[in-house]
């Protein structure tokens, strides 16, 4: 899928979204989502931000659920979340804040994107 100048996915004509979970093996999609997720800091994400590959997932939304929607080409759901602001393409003020605050994230690779969600440092789980 192509992106417009704001990084939002453009509407596909007859193509499905070319998202996929990395790895060609016999793992289930959910297992792959868990395998390709983990905690990272901003320094790891910064190059992905600069390339336009980051998608911010609101903490109220399950990052795994968002990853499944991308993986399953659920364009309607992704568009709905974009419209509601539950997912968005980060901008410079976001990046500057995260760098300044040394924010930690849960990141999930759904090629060609990296979905991110801030980790609340006050959580005791």
Q: Residue 124 has which token pair?
A: 């005791």
Query: How many CB atoms are closer than 10 A to CB 114?
Result: 22
Q: How far apart are CA 67 and CA 71, in angstroms?
A: 6
Q: Is the pLDDT of residue 122 over 80?
A: no
SS (H, E, C) the chain: CCECCCCCECCCCCCCCCCECCCCCCCCHHHHHHHCEEEEEHHHHHHHHHCCCEEEECCCCCHHHHHHHHHCCCHHHHHHHHHHCCEECCCHHHHHHHHHHCCEEEEEEEECEEEEEECCCCCCC
At residue 67, the pLDDT reads 93
Mean pLDDT of all residues belonging to the chain: 80
Reported as a single tens digit per residue, the pLDDT across 55-114 is 999 999 999 999 999 999 999 999 999 999 999 999 999 999 999 999 999 999 998 999
């Amino acid at each position: 899928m192509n992106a417009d100048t704001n990084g939002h996915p453009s509407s596909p004509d007859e193509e499905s979204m070319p998202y996929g979970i990395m790895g060609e093996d016999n793992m289930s999609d959910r297992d792959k989502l868990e395998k390709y997720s983990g905690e990272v800091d901003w320094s790891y994400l910064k190059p992905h931000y600069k390339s336009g590959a980051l998608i911010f997932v609101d903490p109220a939304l399950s990052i795994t659920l968002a990853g499944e929607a991308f993986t399953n080409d659920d364009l309607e759901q992704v568009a709905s979340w974009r419209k509601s602001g539950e997912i968005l393409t980060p901008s410079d003020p976001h990046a500057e804040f995260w760098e300044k605050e040394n924010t930690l994230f849960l990141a999930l690779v759904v090629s060609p994107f990296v979905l991110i969600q801030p980790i609340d440092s006050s959580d005791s789980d």
